[in-house]
């Protein structure tokens, strides 16, 4: 018997050893991993592989985790008594060794290892930037096949750790959501499955490593948790891991309050939740808003928000709140963090810091326990001072590429790499 099974949040159906499982009865619900161990353990190996609540058995490559530490700099500036920072990026003097500078490495590592153990030979991955870099790097490290699909509009900010890392296709006339749709079509044509997005339990449990590391360091659950959200997968993952830690019994008696942030004007989840609505308004995901937003990696037009077990439910279950952050606030927050903590962070992490600044200012957080701030990416400036990184040179196609041309595109793209 496996050390985990997968359960439908809605009807309770349980599946064993299923890859990218879906419930045949409920299309509008997420599945969740159930681990046989009720008690959390962190003694199973190195890096992120030392945790027992992961949907993998025998990891074939090493993977560093986040670094969680008690802040003095930012905590002092904001007047927060107990502020823990989870830093996922490159900051060697702090022990943070993620060379792709993003927490998406945990997701990519878990998805690839889980796919390998389910006899998958490759995956098609859609990304707005960070996920692409993480998958490209880990596909190289693990020898796994991946084809990556990104929107062209994200290319100026994109970089890979390796030259010609993996076959990459850019969509010239669409955004992240169009990349997902095209990735699904390429998956059908290539015979390699689509990685599954937020529905892939391995993706969420990989991102949930942030809370496992924090629980291991803090020996308790945070009272408040801050993160920027795009698809919502990371926030859902933290809620799911918090439920497991609560059931363990040794980490406290209440779920962390989720404080989730988006970059205005593209903030569809924030705008929906301010109205306490489970539905995202079509006006709030219009294409024009994407261009006005500084953090493109957060501009997912179809996030896992209203789906059962998604962001709306996570906010309701934890008494959470959504924040909207203007571009100027993002830049100011990045600057403040760098001065206070001594390391550069990516704009998405700046969105989370800006939300924490708002919360401190408007007293959304009291003195009732530790705060955990998820810095989802950083240290790019440090990394670039030490080694070269590479621009992404993809094959460029329209989102309306005809079916019969997809095969030619794949041949051409594979040849380049
Ligand atoms: Zn179901």
Q: From the CA of 14, how far away is ligand 1's center (Å)?
A: 9
Q: Please tell me the distance between residue 156's alpha carbon and the centre of ligand 1 in angstroms.
A: 41
pTM of the model: 0.95
Phi and psi (nearest 5°) for 33? -80, 135
Query: Is 213 exposed, middle or buried, given 0-12, 13-18 or 19+ CB atoms closer than 10 A?
Result: buried
Paired tokens of 393: 């040179």
H or E element, residue 317 = helix 311-318
**Ligand 1 geometric centre to CA of 22 (Å):** 8
Find the 158 Cα to ligand 1 centroid distance in Å: 38
d(CA 323, CA 359): 9
Q: Give 313 Cα–ligand 1 centroid separation in angstroms.
A: 16
**Average pLDDT value for residue range 178-197:** 89
In this prediction, residue 404 has a pLDDT band, given cuts at 50, 70 and 90, of confident
pLDDT at site 20: 66
**Distant-in-sequence, close-in-space partners of 166: CB < 8 Å, separation ≥ 6:** 135, 136, 139, 140, 146, 147, 148, 417
Query: Per-residue pLDDT tens for 40-59?
Result: 999 999 999 999 999 999 99
Confidence of residue 195 (pLDDT cuts 50, 70, 90): confident
Closest CA to 224 of 390, 28, 400, 369: 369
Whole-number Å distance, alpha carbon 191 to ligand 1 midpoint, is 27
d(C-alpha 371, C-alpha 213), whole Å: 14
Q: Single out the residue of 205, 208, 219 nearest to residue 70, CA to CA.
A: 219
- Cα 3 to ligand 1 centre (Å): 21
3-state DSSP assignment of residue 97:
strand
Q: What is the DSSP letter of 400?
A: T
- How many whole angstroms from 25 Cα to the centroid of ligand 1? 5
Rounded-to-integer distance, Cα 12 and Cα 310, Å: 16
Cα gap 34→57, rounded to integer Å: 15
Paired tokens of 416: 């380049």
Mean of pLDDT values over 131-139: 94
Task: Quote the ligand 1 centre to 235 CA distance (angstroms).
Answer: 22
Distance 28 CA to ligand 1 centre (A): 8
| CATH entry 3.40.50.1100 includes domain 121-192+388-416 | yes
- Distance from the alpha carbon of residue 7 to the mean position of ligand 1, in angstroms: 8
Summarised one tens digit per residue, pLDDT across range 70-119 is 999 999 999 999 999 999 999 999 999 999 999 999 999 999 999 999 99
pLDDT attached to residue 21: 65
In which element (H, E) is residue 101 found? none
- CB within 8 A of 366, min separation 6: which ones? none
CATH no., domain 67-98+202-383: 3.40.50.1100
- Given pLDDT bands bounded at 50, 70 and 90, which one contains residue 301? confident
Centroid of ligand 1 to alpha carbon of 282 (angstroms)? 27
d(CA 29, ligand 1 centre) in Å: 7
Distance 34 CA to ligand 1 centre (A): 15
Residue 4 Cα to ligand 1 middle (Å): 17
Is there a common fold for 67-98+202-383 and 121-192+388-416?
yes
Torsion of CA 251, 237, 357, 279, to 10 degrees: -130
What is the Å distance from ligand 1's center to 15 Cα?
10
The set of residues, in sequence order, having a beta carbon less than 8 Å from that of 356 and lying 6+ positions away, is 78, 80, 226, 259, 371, 373
Distance from residue 11's CA to the centre of ligand 1 (Å):
4
pLDDT at 17: 66
Q: Report domain extents, the chain.
A: 67-98+202-383, 121-192+388-416
CB-based contact 206:198 (threshold 8 Å): no
Distance CA 373, CA 375 (A): 6
How close is the Cα of 6 to the center of ligand 1, in Å?
11
Please give the pLDDT value at position 69: 98
Ligand 1 centroid, distance to 201 Cα (angstroms)? 15
197 C-alpha to ligand 1 centroid (Å): 18
């Amino acid at each position: 018997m496996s050390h985990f099974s997968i359960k439908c949040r809605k009807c309770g159906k349980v599946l064993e050893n299923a890859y990218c499982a879906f419930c045949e009865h409920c299309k509008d619900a997420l599945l969740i991993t159930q681990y046989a161990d009720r008690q959390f353990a962190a003694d199973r190996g190195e890096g992120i592989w030392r945790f027992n609540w992961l949907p993998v058995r025998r990891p074939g490559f090493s993977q560093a985790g986040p670094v969680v530490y008690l802040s003095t700099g930012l905590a002092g500036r904001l007047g927060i008594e107990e502020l823990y920072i989870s830093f996922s990026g490159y900051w060697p003097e702090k022990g943070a060794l993620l060379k792709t500078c993003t927490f998406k490495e945990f997701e990519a590592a878990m998805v690839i290892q889980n796919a390998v153990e389910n006899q998958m030979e490759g995956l098609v991955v859609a990304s707005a930037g960070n996920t692409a870099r993480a998958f490209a790097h880990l596909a190289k490290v693990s020898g796994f096949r991946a084809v990556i699909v990104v929107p062209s509009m994200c290319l100026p900010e994109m970089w890979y750790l390796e030259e010609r890392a993996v076959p990459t296709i850019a969509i010239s006339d669409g955004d992240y959501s169009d990349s997902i749709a095209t990735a699904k079509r390429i998956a059908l044509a290539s015979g390699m499955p689509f990685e599954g997005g937020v529905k892939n339990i391995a993706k969420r449990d990989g991102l949930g490593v942030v809370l496992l590391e924090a629980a291991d360091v803090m020996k308790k659950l945070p009272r408040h948790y801050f993160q920027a959200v795009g698809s919502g997968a990371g926030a859902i993952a933290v809620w799911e891991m918090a439920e497991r830690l609560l059931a363990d019994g040794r980490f406290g008696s209440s779920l962390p309050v989720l404080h989730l942030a988006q970059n205005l004007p593209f903030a569809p989840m924030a705008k929906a939740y301010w109205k306490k609505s489970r539905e995202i308004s079509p006006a709030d995901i219009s294409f024009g808003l994407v261009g006005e937003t500084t953090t493109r990696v957060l501009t997912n037009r179809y996030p896992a928000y209203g789906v059962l077990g998604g962001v709306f439910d996570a906010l309701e279950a934890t008494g959470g709140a959504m924040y909207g952050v203007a571009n100027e606030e993002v830049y100011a927050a990045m600057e403040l963090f760098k001065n206070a903590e001594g390391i550069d962070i990516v704009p998405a992490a700046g969105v989370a810091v800006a939300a924490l600044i708002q919360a401190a200012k408007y007293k959304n957080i009291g003195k009732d326990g530790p705060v955990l701030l998820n810095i989802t990416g950083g240290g790019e400036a440090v990394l670039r001072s030490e080694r070269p990184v590479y621009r992404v040179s993809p094959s460029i196609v329209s989102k309306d590429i005809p079916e019969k041309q997809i095969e030619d595109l794949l041949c051409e793209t594979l040849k380049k790499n």
